[in-house]
């Protein structure tokens, strides 16, 4: 067998090629086009992107987009550990709306297992995904407005995002690296003060959106720099597999939430905003309208969400700490111990058993037991160990499944292949930002150098999703 | 159109070149012969009843040491197709042998195939015949090997490469 790491000999080209000949032959009048590197360390290139551009004056004749080296080895790492261990890696795919990535991956594994999560959990996933979508759009619009000089808008948007992130923090315990999804459910139920907190945050967000509308939507400078810039046709967008706000700005009403409804989206009433030209201004308007729709979805879901099961009977034995529970077990008084709710350390708050059952699937093959059961009974401990130990764990039958959710930037798909063991054989993430990046040169070429900034900003490129 | 109807349509059109079909967990999948994969993709895209006009995803799976597949081809290329107008999905897969890892390119059919195929070449070392721009997408040019192959160790290190000139 040949050494698999050996590469076939290929010519390393000094000047990279885009689609076609590059650089262009010099014009007949004796002038020459200028080759310029924009990025990777440039204030308008978010992160590690390099655009290698051929300029004729200030006009972009030809561009080549490079996505740089931000490598954590997401897919390789997922293949190296048990199913639930991939959850922290999915957090880091999209660092402005990590909850959607969590739930997308968890749903793909659930599809592979053939289990359904509880209804309350589906509502929680919808609510948290929509809140994440709002934070994502706020960041995108705020950042691109700032790059056009509208710094006030950025501050307002980040203020609104802060209110929403506080809600996320209340639920998950973290703001960025939330790791809230679980195969078969979520980590814990919503906290009791959740609903008023969301309403308060939405009120603030709506105020901010009103202000931003007044500042931007009719603003002469903003409109002049956004309208007719970065246009991509409907055919090109479909050929480049662009989804999300960029596709909807071209007038295609494709939204995974509506096209192939998952969780409880088919029970909720919402509209899919579309544009018609497919330029930067339409993308801005689509995102602004989507945030309003997301808030509408959350408010409906909060009204429709079923409550968890009734608390179990205390039977006159109000144990409060695990140590009392253990003491009672040592004395041999084990009658009905499993029914007794106990309170754990505050670090594990939100793991109370009845809530755990409300938000997680009742499938012992996949779902970790609540901490009360784990620490309070030998059956729970054994089940926990079996799911955690190497070689046991979640074992979906051999096969493959693709599950798509509507991420903030478009279709976010997870393709998971199982070989029947407790670790995924292959995890593939279909990132929503890779296709627009692949089509970026089509949006840039022929435009002005300065238009690159709003066009690139409107893509909302998230580098964490681009790498494997 | 129902997923199983799409598979039946493909079988009717391509006959024995459709090697297998299945709908595990509701994902309708056709495994096709490498020789006709481009025809199948073009048929899926252009046939009025199918109109699978979006190449939603293209990736590969390395089935090295996969239990029960010791005999088959080592790699599989997976095309996930979606129809924006008809709202249906189908998956087309093609097996690729280790000693001849070449697949015809889908760039003439979809613009996005350009980057997806560069990525598969980069990560798995599967070449796409006729690709207009076959260079690495994610790793640097001097990188040796293909990281997502199963025999590429997770903790392997490679020397740092200085500036090119």
A4 contact B CB<8A: yes
Instruction: Look at residue A317 in the predicted model and tell me its pLDDT.
Output: 39
Taking contacts as CB-CB distances below 8 angstroms, the residues of chain A near B68 are 398
Q: Which two tokens stand for residue A148?
A: 């056009």
**In the predicted structure, residue B84 carries a pLDDT above the cut 50:** yes
A62 contact B CB<8A: no
**In the predicted structure, residue B78 carries a pLDDT above the cut 60:** yes
Instruction: State which residue of chain A sits closest to B117, comparing Cα positions.
Output: A438
Instruction: Look at residue A183 in the predicted model and tell me its pLDDT.
Output: 86
Q: What is the mean pLDDT of chain A?
A: 83
Helix (H/G/I), strand (E/B), else coil: A3: coil
Phi, psi angles (nearest 5°) of residue A163: -60, -40
Phi, psi angles (nearest 5°) of residue A260: -130, 85
Instruction: Look at residue A171 in the predicted model and tell me its pLDDT.
Output: 87
Tens-place pLDDT, residues A9-48:
444 444 444 444 455 566 667 778 888 888 788 888 877 8
Tens-place pLDDT, residues A55-91:
888 999 889 898 888 778 889 999 988 998 899 999 9
Length of chain A equals: 468
Q: Do A71 and B138 touch (CB under 8 A)?
A: yes
Instruction: Look at residue A335 in the predicted model and tell me its pLDDT.
Output: 65
Which value, in Å, is the radius of gyration of the alpha carbons in chain A? 25
For B112, which of A240, A417, A425 is closest by C-beta distance?
Answer: A240
Instruction: Look at residue A310 in the predicted model and tell me its pLDDT.
Output: 24
**Closest among A318, A315, A306, A149 to A220, alpha carbons compared:** A149
ipTM exceeding 0.90, yes/no = yes
Q: Do B133 and A17 touch (CB under 8 A)?
A: yes
What pTM, to 2 d.p., does this model score?
0.88
How far is it, in rounded angstroms, from Cα A250 to Cα A318?
61
- Cβ proximity of A405 and A107 under 8 Å: yes
User: What b/e sequence results for A287-310 when a residue is b if at least 16 CB atoms lie within 10 Å of its CB, and e otherwise?
Assistant: bbbbbebbbbbbbbbeeebeebee
B111 contact A CB<8A: yes
B108 contact A CB<8A: no
Taking contacts as CB-CB distances below 8 angstroms, the residues of chain A near B91 are 402
Q: Do A399 and B55 touch (CB under 8 A)?
A: no
- Name the one residue in this structure whose structure tokens are 């901010």: A208
Q: Which of B25, B56, B63 is the best residue to mutate to test the A interface, defined by the most A CB atoms within 10 Å of its own CB?
A: B25
> How far is A439 from chain B, CA to nearest CA, in Å?
8
B23 contact A CB<8A: no
Low-confidence stretches of chain A (pLDDT beneath 70) = 1-28, 307-329, 332-355
- Cβ proximity of A169 and A194 under 8 Å: no
Long-range Cβ contacts of A36-44 (<8 Å, 24+ apart): A38/A452, A40/A68, A43/A147, A44/A147, A44/A452, A44/A453, A44/A456, A44/A457
- Cβ proximity of B20 and B44 under 8 Å: no
Instruction: Look at residue A373 in the predicted model and tell me its pLDDT.
Output: 76
Q: Do B24 and A401 touch (CB under 8 A)?
A: yes
- Among A315-319, A337-341, B121-125, B161-165, the minimum mean pLDDT is found in A315-319
Instruction: Look at residue A319 in the predicted model and tell me its pLDDT.
Output: 43
Bridge-based pairing state of the strands A426-430 and A50-56: unpaired
How far is it, in rounded angstroms, from Cα B23 to Cα B91?
10
Instruction: Look at residue A72 in the predicted model and tell me its pLDDT.
Output: 81
What separation in angstroms does the CA of A391 have from each of A77, A276, A388, B67?
17, 53, 9, 15
Tens-place pLDDT, residues B19-46:
999 998 889 999 999 999 999 999 999 9
How far is it, in rounded angstroms, from Cα A98 to Cα A92?
7
B80 contact A CB<8A: yes
Instruction: State which residue of chain A sits closest to B64, comparing Cα positions.
Output: A425
How far is it, in rounded angstroms, from Cα A254 to Cα A348?
41
Tens-place pLDDT, residues A264-280:
999 999 999 999 999 99
Q: Measured on CA atoms in the order A90, A94, A96, A99, is the torsion positive or negative?
A: negative
B101 CB-contact burial (10 Å; exposed 0-12 / middle 13-18 / buried 19+): buried
Q: Which of B53, B77, B138, B139 is the best residue to mutate to test the A interface, defined by the most A CB atoms within 10 Å of its own CB?
A: B138
Instruction: Look at residue A323 in the predicted model and tell me its pLDDT.
Output: 59
B34 contact A CB<8A: no
Within 10 angstroms of residue A164's Cβ, the number of other Cβ atoms is 20
> How far is B19 from chain A, CA to nearest CA, in Å?
17
Segments in A280-352 forming alpha helices (H): 280-304, 322-330
């Amino acid at each position: 067998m040949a050494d698999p790491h050996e590469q076939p000999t290929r010519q390393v080209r000094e000047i990279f090629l885009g689609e076609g000949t590059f650089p262009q032959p010099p014009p007949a009048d004796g002038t020459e086009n200028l080759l310029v590197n924009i990025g990777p360390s440039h204030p308008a290139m978010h992160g590690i992107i390099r655009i290698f551009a051929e300029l004729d004056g200030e006009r972009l004749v030809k561009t080549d987009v490079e996505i740089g080296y931000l490598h954590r080895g997401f897919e390789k790492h997922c293949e190296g550990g048990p199913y639930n261990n991939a959850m922290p890696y999915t957090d880091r795919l999209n660092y402005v709306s990590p909850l959607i990535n969590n739930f997308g991956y968890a749903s793909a594994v659930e599809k592979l297992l053939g289990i359904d999560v509880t209804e309350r959990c589906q509502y929680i996933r919808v609510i948290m995904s929509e809140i994440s979508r709002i934070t994502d759009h706020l960041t995108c619009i705020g950042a691109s407005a700032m790059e056009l000089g509208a710094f006030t808008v950025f501050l307002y948007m980040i203020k609104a995002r802060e209110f929403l992130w506080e809600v996320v923090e209340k639920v998950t315990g973290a703001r960025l690296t939330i790791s809230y999804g679980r195969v078969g459910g979520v980590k814990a139920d919503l906290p009791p003060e959740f609903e008023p907190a969301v309403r308060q945050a939405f009120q603030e967000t709506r105020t901010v959106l009103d202000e931003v509308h007044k500042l931007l939507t009719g603003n002469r400078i903003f409109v002049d720099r956004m309208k007719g810039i970065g246009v991509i046709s409907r055919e090109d967008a479909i050929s480049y597999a662009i989804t999300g706000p960029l596709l909807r700005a071209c007038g295609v009403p494709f939204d995974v939430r509506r096209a192939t409804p998952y969780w409880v989206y088919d029970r909720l009433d919402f509209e899919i905003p579309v544009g018609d030209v497919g330029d930067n201004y339409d993308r801005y308007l689509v995102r602004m309208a989507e945030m309003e729709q997301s808030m509408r979805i959350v408010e409906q879901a909060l009204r429709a969400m079923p409550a968890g099961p009734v608390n179990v009977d205390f039977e006159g034995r109000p144990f409060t700490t695990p140590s009392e529970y253990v003491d009672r077990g040592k004395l041999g008084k084990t009658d009905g111990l499993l029914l007794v709710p106990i309170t754990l350390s505050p670090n594990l708050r939100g793991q109370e058993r009845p809530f755990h059952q409300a938000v997680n699937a009742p499938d012992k093959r996949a779902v970790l037991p609540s901490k009360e059961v784990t620490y309070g009974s030998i059956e729970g401990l054994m089940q926990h160990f079996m799911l955690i130990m190497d070689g046991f764990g979640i074992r979906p039958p051999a096969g493959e499944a693709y599950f798509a959710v509507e991420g903030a930037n478009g279709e976010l798909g997870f393709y998971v292949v199982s070989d029947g063991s407790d670790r995924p054989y292959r995890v593939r993430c279909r990132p929503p930002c890779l296709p627009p990046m692949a089509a970026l040169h089509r949006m840039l070429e022929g435009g002005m150098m300065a238009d690159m900034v709003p066009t690139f900003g409107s893509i909302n490129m998230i580098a964490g999703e681009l790498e494997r | 159109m129902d997923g199983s109807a799409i598979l039946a349509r493909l079988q009717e059109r391509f006959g024995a070149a459709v090697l297998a079909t299945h709908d595990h967990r509701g994902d309708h999948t056709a495994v096709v012969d490498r020789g006709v994969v481009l025809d199948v993709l073009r048929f899926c895209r252009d046939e009025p009843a199918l109109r699978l006009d979006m190449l939603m995803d293209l990736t590969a799976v390395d089935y090295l040491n996969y239990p029960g597949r010791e005999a088959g081809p080592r790699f599989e290329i997976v095309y996930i197709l979606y129809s924006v107008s008809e709202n249906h999905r189908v998956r087309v897969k093609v097996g690729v042998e280790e000693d001849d890892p070449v697949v015809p390119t889908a760039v003439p059919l979809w613009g996005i195939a350009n980057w997806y195929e560069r990525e598969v070449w980069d990560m798995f070392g599967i070449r796409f015949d006729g690709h207009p721009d076959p260079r690495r997408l994610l790793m640097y040019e001097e990188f040796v090997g293909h990281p997502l192959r199963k025999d590429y160790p997770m903790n392997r290190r490679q020397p740092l490469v200085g500036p090119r000139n």
